[in-house]
Amino acid sequence: MRKAVGIDLGGTKIFGGIVNSQGRIITRVEKDTGKSVGSTEVLKRLELVINELLEKDRDIIGIGVGSPGFIDTNEGKVLSVGGNIYGWAFTDIKGNLLNRFPNYQIFVGNDANLAGLCEGWIGAGKDFDSFLMMTLGTGVGGCIYTKEKGLWHGRNYQAGEFGHAILYPNGRKCTCGQDGCLEQYISGTGIENSYYEQTGVHKKGEDIFLNYNADEYSKKVIDDFALDLSVFISSMKNIFDPEGLVIGGGIINSREIWWDLMMENYRKNVNDTKGMTIVAAGYLNDAGIIGASKLVFDNIKD
């Protein structure tokens, strides 16, 4: 059975795995991204994860990497927006990795796109003819997928960048250069910033969710998050009219706190609730690894 290395490079962690052609993760490795230390150091940590995996099993056909930012999938390079990693814009991911691992074919895609590729292959989107995916983590990613066409990258590799839709005009400054992007409000970072604005206290996102019933400020922040998310989902339904919407990323792990409220707000806001099924991702934090391996399998045929 064929095997590939799949890497999910996030703003906080680098998750890597060896994945077989049925989508099962055989071996895992995890390291901190060090998103504030610059692209050179992040590349070194990425190389360490790949090398550790290859030391466990060199019988693989290629390496797939999911990265934040706008990604030129043909060249394997980050374009002008690098997401939540400092100095990541314009990084030549594929070129750097080929220098280090010249005996392997390497493929690079946007991290949310590859999470969607996983969900369309073996996850929550596998029975939809068309679906959108949102990944809610350190930032906000997304993808547009149809069974007929696969992933839609767009003319400039920016399709599905839902995190950079403007939610609040003239709002918080975003890393992409715009003001008021969705990512600045419904991501883990956005939730932490909302809490800080209301309290003057820095608190981790996971603690804000955990204190939902004990802290009035945490409740206010999460209630606002659920409302903002529902409003955006209403817009996406009307723009794309997909069969399904898959929501994944780290924040989905706390969905027992906010999912019902989000759906209640969605039903109030949207003009027609019929036609789009909203589901949680099937593979959660594993989707990026599996999707990155699928990129390899799709590009290297038997």
- Residue 116 in any domain: the answer is no
Q: Are residues 171 and 201 in the same domain?
A: yes
Spell out where 220-275 has E strands: 244-248
Q: Are residues 272 and 223 in the same domain?
A: yes
- Residue 293 in any domain: the answer is yes
Q: Are residues 264 and 160 in the same domain?
A: yes
First to last CA, the chain: 11
- Residue 149 in any domain: the answer is yes
- pLDDT classification of 244: cutoffs 50, 70, 90: very high
Q: Residue 8: pLDDT above 90? A: yes
Q: Residue 112: pLDDT above 70? A: yes
Q: Are residues 100 and 177 in the same domain?
A: no
pLDDT digits (tens, 9 = 90+) for 138-174: 889 999 999 999 999 999 988 999 999 999 999 999 9
- Residue 17 in any domain: the answer is yes
- Residue 172 in any domain: the answer is yes
- Of 155, 139, 151, nearest in space to 69 by CA: 139
Q: Are residues 136 and 75 in the same domain?
A: no
| pLDDT given for residue 182 in this prediction | 97
SS3 208: helix
| pLDDT given for residue 35 in this prediction | 58
pLDDT digits (tens, 9 = 90+) for 32-85: 887 577 888 999 999 999 999 999 998 999 999 999 989 999 999 999 888 778
> For the chain, how many residues are written?
302
Q: Are residues 203 and 241 in the same domain?
A: yes
What is the average pLDDT across 7-23?
Answer: 93
- The whole domain housing 254 covers 124-281
| pLDDT given for residue 7 in this prediction | 97
In whole numbers, what is the pLDDT of the chain averaged over residues? 94
Q: Are residues 91 and 158 in the same domain?
A: no
Sheet with 140-146, edge to edge strand ranges: 150-151, 140-146, 130-136, 244-248, 277-280
| pLDDT given for residue 111 in this prediction | 92
- Residue 119 in any domain: the answer is no
pLDDT digits (tens, 9 = 90+) for 259-298: 999 999 999 999 999 999 999 999 988 999 999 999 999 9
- Residue 68 in any domain: the answer is yes
| pLDDT given for residue 83 in this prediction | 79
Number of domains in the chain: 2
CATH for 273: 3.30.420.40
pLDDT digits (tens, 9 = 90+) for 72-87: 999 999 998 887 788 8
Look at the block and give the residue holding tokens 């394997």.
76
Q: Are residues 141 and 72 in the same domain?
A: no
